[in-house]
Amino acid sequence: MNFFNSPVHSWYSLYKRDLPWRNTRNPYLIWLSEIILQQTRIDQGLAYYSRFADEFPTISALADASEDQILKLWQGLGYYSRARNLHFTAKFIQLNYNGIFPEDYDAIRSLKGIGEYTAAAIASISFNLEYPTVDGNVFRVLSRFFGIPEPIDTSTGKKIFNELAKELIIGTDPGMHNQAIMEFGALQCTPKNPDCNQCPLNQRCFAFLNQKIAELPVKQNKTKQRDRYFNYLVLSCNSHTWLRKRVGNDIWKNLFEFPIIETDNEISIEELITQTEFQKLVSIANQSVIKNVSDWKIHILSHQRIHYRFVRVQLTDEIHVTTDLIRVNKEDIFNFAVPKLLETYLNEYVKSV
Ligand code: SF4
């Protein structure tokens, strides 16, 4: 497989980006960078990586932090289960491995929040083990170069790509090799309009030689998106509002938000205030006044489309607000970790109170 590996490795030594996690083999930092970079662009992830590495330079420091501290630092990155799992696993390593990252692939893979890809990244980069990382970039490069028509999102397709990647990594410097293919996919063999004329693989690339670049890789794409409708109630009395911590097995677990009334579609404000849930939150005797209603907006997650709007409810007396909410002074509102879609609104809210 040298006809593939050699040009990719040489290309990598010339063109790789200088990224902080490329200057270390420390498994904790490699793990941290891999978790931050899942579903995140490198330019955005860089700042978060630096903040986490500064604030929590070791597994023990991360294990000793509170979950609220970690979620607050994670705010804006999305997919918050990553942060919760990071914390859980740091505590687990602290307790079961004396704070030292396990060096065995199966032990790494069994840690919470560490899937096949992340385990392979840590095992190869930190411990020189021959486990291939197969991410979107690798699928693209391999499917184009070798002309593999199987969909990358089926179990058969995944198996074929994994087998090939396992063959390719044998006898290489595994950490460098994995990073080289991923970087090659990110910068050279890009999803759209790759510069094939400048590519060191173009003499033998199936997609280039057969004009199949736009068709490879193949995806079956069966993911269905679920629509949800969130009416955020922004209760306001003097300089106070009320938040709630999200619990249960759902998106944004343990983050804070304004109380939500979730409905089946975009209902009118008249329908909203007749909902039992609304009446439970704010007693009608309180003579609450709907002060302002924003337009509906959409926030896209990987499997959900969140339709949301903000309903400002001015209260004349806070005594009737249900007690399971947290009363917050507007000055303190930025201390709470909130989902990304609330961030911009919080600025508007604080200015308007
Ligand atoms: S020739 Fe084009 S399609 Fe083939 S590996 Fe290079 S950049 Fe990708």
Instruction: Give a three-class secondary structure readout of 50-66.
Output: HHHHHHCCCHHHHHHCC
Residue 2: Cβ within 10 Å count: 10
Q: Which residue of the set 34, 130, 183, 257 is catalytic?
A: 34
Tell whether the torsion through CA atoms of 250, 29, 67 and 330 is positive or negative: negative
First CA to last CA distance, the chain: 65
Centre of ligand 1 to C-alpha 142, Å, is 10
Closest-CA residue to 338 (of 64, 36, 78, 65)? 78
Residue nearest to atom 4 of ligand 1 (CA): 205
Query: How would you class 163 by CB atoms within 10 Å of its CB: exposed for 0-12, middle for 13-18, buried for 19 or more?
Result: exposed
**Beta carbon of 49 within 6 Å of any ligand 1 atom:** no
Q: Which residues in 96-116 are b (16+ Cβ under 10 Å) and which e?
A: eeebebbeebeebbebebbee
Cβ(87)–Cβ(72) below 8 Å: no
pLDDT value at residue 275: 83
Q: Per-residue confidence at 82, pLDDT binned at 50, 70, 90?
A: very high
* Polymer length in residues for the chain: 353
Which of 181, 202, 203 for a ligand 1 pocket mutation test, highest count of atoms within 8 Å of Cβ?
202
Is 215 an active-site residue?
no
Which of 139, 188, 192 for a ligand 1 pocket mutation test, highest count of atoms within 8 Å of Cβ?
188
Q: Name residue 228's beta-bridge partners.
A: 306
Q: Which atom of ligand 1 is the closest one to the Cα of 188?
A: 7
Q: Which atom of ligand 1 is the closest one to the Cα of 216?
A: 3
pLDDT in tens, 212-266: 999 999 998 766 789 999 999 998 888 889 999 998 889 999 999 999 999 988 9
**Beta carbon of 349 within 6 Å of any ligand 1 atom:** no
pLDDT in tens, 287-323: 567 888 898 999 988 889 999 999 998 887 776 666 7
In whole angstroms, give the CA distance from residue 332 to residue 315.
19
Provide the pairing of β-strand 304-314 with 226-236: parallel
**Beta carbon of 201 within 6 Å of any ligand 1 atom:** yes
Centre of ligand 1 to C-alpha 73, Å, is 39
Centre of ligand 1 to C-alpha 141, Å, is 7
Cβ(179)–Cβ(22) below 8 Å: yes
Question: 236 by DSSP, 3-state: which?
Answer: strand
Which of 184, 192, 208 for a ligand 1 pocket mutation test, highest count of atoms within 8 Å of Cβ?
208
pLDDT in tens, 37-69: 988 889 999 999 999 999 999 999 999 999 999
| Ordered domains of the chain (ranges, CATH) | 2-209 (1.10.340.30), 226-352 (3.90.79.10)
Q: Which atom of ligand 1 is the closest one to the Cα of 213?
A: 3
Angle (nearest 5°) at CA 132 between 129 and 137: 145
**Beta carbon of 216 within 6 Å of any ligand 1 atom:** no
In whole angstroms, give the CA distance from residue 164 to residue 139.
10
Closest-CA residue to 181 (of 223, 226, 224, 136)? 136
pLDDT value at residue 124: 98
Q: What is the mean pLDDT of residues 79-103?
A: 95
**Beta carbon of 283 within 6 Å of any ligand 1 atom:** no
Phi, psi of 192 (to 5 degrees): -115, 140
Q: Per-residue confidence at 324, pLDDT binned at 50, 70, 90?
A: confident
pLDDT in tens, 176-203: 999 999 999 999 999 999 999 999 999 9
Helix intervals (H) in the chain: 2-15, 27-37, 42-55, 59-64, 67-74, 81-96, 105-109, 116-127, 136-146, 155-169, 174-187, 206-209, 269-274, 276-281, 340-352
Tell whether the torsion through CA atoms of 329, 333, 335 and 338 is positive or negative: positive
**Beta carbon of 261 within 6 Å of any ligand 1 atom:** no
Cβ neighbours of residue 37 closer than 8 Å, sequence gap 6 or more: 45
Centre of ligand 1 to C-alpha 206, Å, is 8
**Beta carbon of 140 within 6 Å of any ligand 1 atom:** no
Token match 């969130």: residue? 230
Q: Name residue 261's beta-bridge partners.
A: 231
Q: What is the largest CA-CA distance in the chain?
A: 78
**Beta carbon of 152 within 6 Å of any ligand 1 atom:** no
Centre of ligand 1 to C-alpha 205, Å, is 6
pTM over 0.85: no
In whole angstroms, give the CA distance from residue 118 to residue 177.
15
